[in-house]
């Protein structure tokens, strides 16, 4: 099986699996005051410190959640509840993940003004365009770091810097799901007040994520109950999942640049061979190499996906969260004409050049078998 759907989810690494299994043996509630409870609490503390160090943050700024969807919902609804009575505008980009776009839609239905900034005709976002949408009535700007369908890297640092200089009290949230542990960044330089992270995109288990909340930023919780996570995210902590998340981060942190260079080589090989064989590469050359959007003219995405699946190659037709629905994101990037024939190839460092070559071979076979049948 050749797995090129890593933007949807990754295979848990051996270190994460081992950490999960070990934590399952240390089964006590981390809030319990006895020795077993303390052992569980120490696992959570170690993972929190690991994630914080990888971000360049403080441990007390990291809150574990069930995943990036909860993290983004907490950030957006929390910002609205904290400041929405005085300020009524939310600014996002037009290519956000549903975890951001859907809460924005709900707030709009409740009377909030939502501004969705689109890229220019060249398919690129510009920091000045996004910053210009922020005014004195804005309570939050939320934008992703890496687009999950094309790999496009948005100008987050430049945009946040422009906004903070003119509107220092606007809350800045970044969905870093496709960037964390894949492209180098630190919270201080990025300039975000809040950052959403996901475990299963970086070889940790599903069902675990985190929200970075900059010290000094105060928003109300999304979940209430027993007061876990310093009262910000109630619910007994899932120690095994948190342990797996921490273990994956600990493994990947030292090799972010090395893996980026390696995956960049795979992306360059794929792009070169696509061009040689007449397939379109929709992702820009300076996009994240981990996500590559390609098209085979004359073949519908779903047909091509299943053709490859029968030959033990896994790709996707877009975001896994869309479940096969036509992507509006590709249209925003000016790719509407090819969206019906687009598949997403998403890498991890476990992929190989031979796998890329096999994909190209099977794309060529698909074109011969399916496009030229009379």
Domain C-terminal end among 253, 269, 293 = 253
pTM of the model: 0.95
Provide the number of structural domains found in the chain: 2
Residue-number span of the structural domain to which 220 is assigned: 14-253
Let me know whether 196 and 271 are in one domain.
no
Let me know whether 242 and 259 are in one domain.
no
Q: What is the pLDDT of residues 37-46, one digit of tens each?
A: 999 999 999 9
Let me know whether 293 and 331 are in one domain.
yes
Known catalytic residue at 321: yes
Mean pLDDT by 10 residues, the chain (374 residues): 97 98 92 90 97 98 98 98 93 97 97 97 96 98 97 98 97 98 97 98 98 97 91 92 98 98 98 96 96 94 95 83 65 85 96 98 93 58
Q: What is the pLDDT of residues 316-340, one digit of tens each?
A: 986 545 455 566 899 898 888 788 9
Contact 37, 30 (CB under 8 A): yes
Let me know whether 175 and 249 are in one domain.
yes
At 374 the pLDDT is: 39
CATH number where 60 lies: 3.40.640.10
Domain C-terminal end among 197, 232, 253 = 253
At 336 the pLDDT is: 81
Q: Which of the following is catalytic: 176, 274, 321, 348?
A: 321
Domain C-terminal end among 226, 253, 280 = 253
Let me know whether 288 and 249 are in one domain.
no
């Amino acid at each position: 099986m050749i797995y090129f759907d890593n933007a949807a989810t990754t295979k848990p690494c051996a270190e994460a699996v081992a950490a999960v299994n070990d934590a399952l043996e240390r089964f006590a509630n981390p809030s319990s005051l006895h020795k077993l409870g303390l052992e569980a609490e120490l696992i959570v503390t170690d993972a929190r410190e690991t994630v914080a160090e990888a971000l360049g943050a403080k441990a007390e700024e990291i809150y574990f959640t069930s995943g990036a969807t909860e993290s983004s919902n907490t950030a957006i609804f929390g910002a609205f509840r904290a400041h929405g009575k005085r300020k009524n505008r939310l600014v996002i980009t037009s290519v956000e993940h549903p975890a951001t776009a859907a809460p924005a839609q709900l707030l709009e239905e409740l009377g909030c003004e939502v501004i969705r900034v689109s890229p220019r005709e060249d398919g690129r976002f510009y920091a000045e365009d996004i910053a210009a949408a922020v005014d004195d009535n804005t309570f939050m700007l939320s934008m992703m770091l890496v687009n999950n369908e094309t790999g496009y890297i948005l100008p987050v640092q430049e945009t946040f810097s422009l906004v903070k200089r003119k509107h220092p009290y606007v809350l800045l949230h970044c969905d870093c799901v496709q960037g964390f542990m894949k492209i180098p960044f630190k919270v201080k330089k990025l300039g975000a007040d809040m950052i959403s992270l996901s475990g299963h995109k970086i070889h940790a288990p599903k069902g675990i994520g985190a929200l970075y909340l900059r010290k000094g930023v105060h928003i109300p919780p999304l979940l209430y109950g027993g007061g876990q996570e310093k009262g910000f995210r109630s619910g007994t902590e899932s120690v095994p999942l948190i342990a797996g998340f921490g273990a994956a981060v600990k493994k990947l942190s030292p090799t972010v640049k090395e893996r980026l260079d390696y995956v960049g080589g795979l992306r360059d090989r794929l792009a070169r061979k696509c061009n040689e064989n007449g397939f379109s590469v929709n992702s820009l050359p300076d996009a994240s190499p981990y996500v590559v959007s390609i098209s085979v003219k004359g073949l519908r995405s779903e047909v091509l996906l299943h053709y490859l699946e029968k030959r033990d190659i896994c790709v996707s037709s877009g975001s896994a969260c869309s479940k096969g629905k036509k992507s509006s994101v590709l249209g925003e990037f000016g790719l509407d004409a090819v969206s019906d024939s687009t598949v997403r190839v998403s890498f991890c460092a476990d992929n190989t050049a031979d796998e890329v070559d096999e994909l190209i071979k099977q794309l060529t076979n698909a074109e011969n078998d399916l496009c030229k049948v009379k």
